[in-house]
Amino acid sequence: MSRAFIEFDEVTKRYGALTVLDKVDLTVDRHEVVTLIGASGSGKSTLLRCVNGLEDIQDGRILLDGDVVSGEGVDLVGLRRRVGIVFQSFNLFPHMTVLRNCTLTPIRAGVASRAEAEANARTMLERVGLKDKADAYPHQLSGGQQQRVAIARAMLMRPRALLLDEITSALDPELVIEVLNLVRELATDGITMMMTTHEMPFAREISSKVCFLHQGTILEQGPPEQIFEAPSAPELRSFLRKIH
Ligand code: ADP
Ligand code: MG
């Protein structure tokens, strides 16, 4: 059996005349953590959003665990159950408690009864260090706490893979670490992850593979040591110089 869990096969994504992903080939193996790096506008978010069908593609195929999940007739609800996503902006429901934020989707999707969903949510909240915040509202939490709720909420759907799009970018520096610690823990537990981040030391530590996007193509990919210590593409070298 193939170890590949997420596969991009010559994926092209356009917005009108603008080609944002240009024949992208990419394989994410089971339990791998793959990080996308690249300048703003290089296509990182778009690539992630294609994985769980938030964007359609114009050419090529995306496979999840061997199933084609791009194109017509895809079960998007089922796909999004298998692949969770967390955004920079948390996207919690402001008028609902933390607990309700965590139970809404599992209950609606029929994944759990209300009692089960609440029990699962409390266990997950304890795991992310927010046991005593179940009845709080999002605005009563710090950004780091809100982001941990968003991650807990995604995990409660028991996804097979998790997409993290710059989830620490909106956080004050002192709150970044608590979110990264949680991501590190999830990675250790073996969930397959794709992420984008500006936290290069973290990317280097946690990733099995780093992909450098440049103008919609993966210009260079490899283990973090190679990408950060022995980059070969001039564009990647220049990118790394700029961020250091
Ligand atoms: P990154 O996450 O690397 O900053 P994005 O994936 O957000 O890059 O964007 C890649 C390119 O696609 C950019 O040129 C951006 O302006 C364009 N783009 C993103 N979303 C849309 C959209 N909904 N409509 C039109 N163009 C878009
Ligand atoms: Mg982005």
Q: Residue 4 has what pLDDT?
A: 94
Token code pair at residue 130: 């927010």
Q: Is 197 in the pocket of ligand 1 (CB under 6 A)?
A: no
Which residue is closest in CA terms to ligand 1's atom 14? 41
- Among all bound ligands, the one having the nearest atom to the CA of 165 is 2
Q: Give me the average pLDDT of each 10-residue run along the chain (244 residues).
A: 89 97 98 97 97 96 97 92 94 97 94 95 96 97 96 94 96 92 92 95 95 97 97 97 87
Q: Residue 203 has what pLDDT?
A: 94
pTM of the predicted structure, to 2 decimals: 0.95
Q: Which residues contact 3 (CB under 8 A, 6 or more apart)?
A: 29, 30
Give me the interface pTM, i.e. the ipTM.
0.98
Q: Residue 244 has what pLDDT?
A: 75
Q: Residue 1 has what pLDDT?
A: 58
Q: Is the dihedral of CA 162, 151, 200, 178 positive or negative?
A: negative
- Please give the number of the atom of ligand 1 that sits closest to the Cα of 46: 6
Q: Is 44 in the pocket of ligand 1 (CB under 6 A)?
A: yes
Other Cβ atoms less than 10 A from the Cβ of 186: the count is: 19
Which residue is closest in CA terms to ligand 1's atom 5? 43
Buried b (16+ CB within 10 A) or exposed e, 155-170: bbbebebbbbbbbbee
Q: Residue 104 has what pLDDT?
A: 96
Q: Is 40 in the pocket of ligand 1 (CB under 6 A)?
A: yes
